[in-house]
Amino acid sequence: MSLPKGFASVQKELRRLGDEGWYEFYPALPFWPFYANAQGAMPRKLDQRWRRTTEGGGPRRTTFDSAGVRVWSLNDASKTYHMPQHFADDTRPEMLRYLHSRQLPPTEDQLTQLAFNRHSKWPRQRMPDVSHVMRDLAVLKHAAHLLGEPVSSLPLRRQHQRLLQSV
């Protein structure tokens, strides 16, 4: 629903990326079957251009194709060890190397870990707290002082500035 608002900016950006070799444009579908994600647009923070977004959450409900195969959203597929049947059926050595590099098929241990990790193959993100940031900045500033190099930092919120001053 948002793509029409930024269509001109998105089209210009896609053409630029095509000229740089990131995309190719075809008058018809170049292969079959294909997978498509819904596209949208959002305004950039600092200028008037719009940027393209990909809707990785659709379909929102459990959906099956005409053969009874589940249609996975990009977001759901990225969290699991899902392997399409045509991957499993492909026994070429280069495909087997590719699957191994992607940890496919999953081991029993990997499948067991899904239950302990919010049903995602990706570990929970650990964000630093203020004390970690303060320690890291102290080490950085000390190293910069010893080397005679300046340290530039982004503007900090007022409460972080007060914390820095009290250290």
For 55-105, write each residue's pLDDT tens digit.
Answer: 888 888 889 989 898 888 888 888 888 888 889 999 999 999 999 998 899
CA distance 151 to 5: 41
Closest CA to 73 of 59, 52, 62, 84: 59
In this prediction, residue 1 has a pLDDT band, given cuts at 50, 70 and 90, of confident
**112-118 long-range contacts, Cβ below 8 Å, gap at least 24?**
114/80, 114/81
Residues linked to residue 39 through DSSP beta bridges, in sequence order: 54
CA distance 83 to 93: 17
- Are 107 and 124 within 8 A, CB to CB? no
Mean pLDDT of 132-153: 88
In this prediction, residue 154 has a pLDDT band, given cuts at 50, 70 and 90, of low
The residue extents of the domains of the chain are 1-55, 61-126, 130-166
Mean pLDDT of 146-156: 75
pLDDT of residue 38 exceeding 60, the answer is yes
